[in-house]
Amino acid sequence: MAVYGGEGFMAEGAAALSEPQTSQARRVMQAGAATPGALVEAGGDARVNLLGLARAELEGFCAQLGSRPFRARQLMSWIYKRGCDRFADMSDLARAFRAELAERATIAVPRILATQRAADGTCKWLLAGGADQAFEMVYIPEPDRGTLCISSQVGCALDCAFCSTAQQGFNRNLSTAEIVGQVWLAHRELGGGERDGGVRPVSNVVLMGMGEPLANYRNVLPALRIFLDDLGFDLSRRRVTLSTSGLVPQIYRLAQDINVALAVSLHAPDDALRSELVPINRLHPIAELLCACWHYIDEQNGRSVTFEYVMLEGVNDSPAQARALARLLAGHPAKVNLIPFNPFAGTRFRRSSEQAIARFRDELIRGGVIATVRRTRGEDIDAACGQLVGRVRDRTVVRLGSKMAAATRRRTAAHGAVRASAPGGTAPRSSGA
């Protein structure tokens, strides 16, 4: 499995991420291979998990069963609109078709291990990820909307210094079914929607939970399509937000594949500090990242990119840093969301004061950049931004930052060896120098 985690690893990860997506149904029906969550073992027979199959894939699966494409549309309506996971209850499907579905397919969602509710109404679920792994999702109710923060990986390999998830290490990518299943589960647990004759409780979905969504591109993309599909969850593209630490090649790819709201974890106005806080910056520095962001907006005719900026006392919260950030973003389709740091055990960081956050916001606004301050929610149950930890076993424990630092040391040593072996002790210059 490819994840971002080091110099040599980057090439491997980039190659894996560029492979064309293979449908779960085709893997099952033709090749017999499976990805995590694509198959469910039942009575010794592998059944296809229909949850997470995009419309075209579901139509292909129905065709394999000898049914016409409209059956896929009926299935999607039952699964996503009505929240039904029992084929026997899908009354407008032919009885023989329902019997065949029960034999060949299933609708399987992650199992809930624990539920916590905060004083402010925020709800956090711990979900089973298999092999004693677990991941988390969080529901944040507001008077005018309900936001579900979902995970894309068990753990994370990108090693952002201020994030509790990153300190857990990385185990694996979530399957499309596990990603989509979080939204399905939230609707079931919270009530509402067509099944209950009420308003659907989840109006906004943000991929800001555990993991880096763009490092799990092949499974995240079909999930996004189901979120937007009018036969799926039928969410507006402005109500589905993908947050990334800055995997530049995948931002360009995303611009060609789908139109959702884009959020970028920036957290610093210069490369030196950002490389310390967000190690992927050493591979994709700020200028390169911003170019990808503006390209995404141009391609998708979007309104703006949201830049997330966690406020760390004495690290990135000075007025001078606010002015530097404003110079980077002014005149571009950008807004900044300032996030008060949410502490966790063992961290060396502290939250900026309310006064420092207000000064930083005001400096950005004076510099011509829209800036808001995120209200902390669910802090009493460790459900706030940067606090999700899940349960990560058999993990990759070598951090991206340390891997990249080691790679830099190796390059420096190799360069020194070349210089020492060259005539006169200096490295030969290339003809283009």
Measured from the Cβ of residue 273, the count of other Cβ atoms closer than 10 Å reads 17
385 is catalytic: yes
Give dist(CA 133, CA 170) in Å, integer: 11
> Torsions phi, psi of 399, nearest 5?
-75, 155
Give dist(CA 238, CA 228) in Å, integer: 10
Tokens matching residue 120: 């402010």
DSSP class per residue in 210-276:
SS-GGGGHHHHHHHHHHHH-TTTT---GGGEEEEES--HHHHHHHHHH---EEEEE---SSHHHHHH
> Which residues on adjacent β-strands are paired with residue 117?
123
DSSP annotation of 423: G
Cβ atoms of 183 and 209 closer than 8 Å: no
Q: Which of 57, 59, 136, 363 is catalytic?
A: 136
pTM tops 0.85: no
149 is catalytic: no
DSSP annotation of 385: T
Domains in the chain (CATH in brackets) are 7-106 (1.10.150.530), 112-402 (3.20.20.70)
Give dist(CA 8, CA 4) in Å, integer: 10
Strand order in the sheet with 39-42: 39-42, 45-49, 105-106
Considering Cα of 379, then 382, then 383, then 385, what sign does the dihedral take? Answer: positive
Give dist(CA 384, CA 119) in Å, integer: 13
Give dist(CA 12, CA 34) in Å, integer: 21
Give dist(CA 419, CA 433) in Å, integer: 16
Please write the tens of the pLDDT for every residue from 367-383.
999 999 987 665 555 54
pLDDT for residue 166? 73
Measured from the Cβ of residue 169, the count of other Cβ atoms closer than 10 Å reads 19
Give the chain's residues under pLDDT 70. Answer: 1-45, 192-198, 376-433
Considering Cα of 33, then 42, then 233, then 89, what sign does the dihedral take? Answer: positive
Radius of gyration of the chain (CA): 23
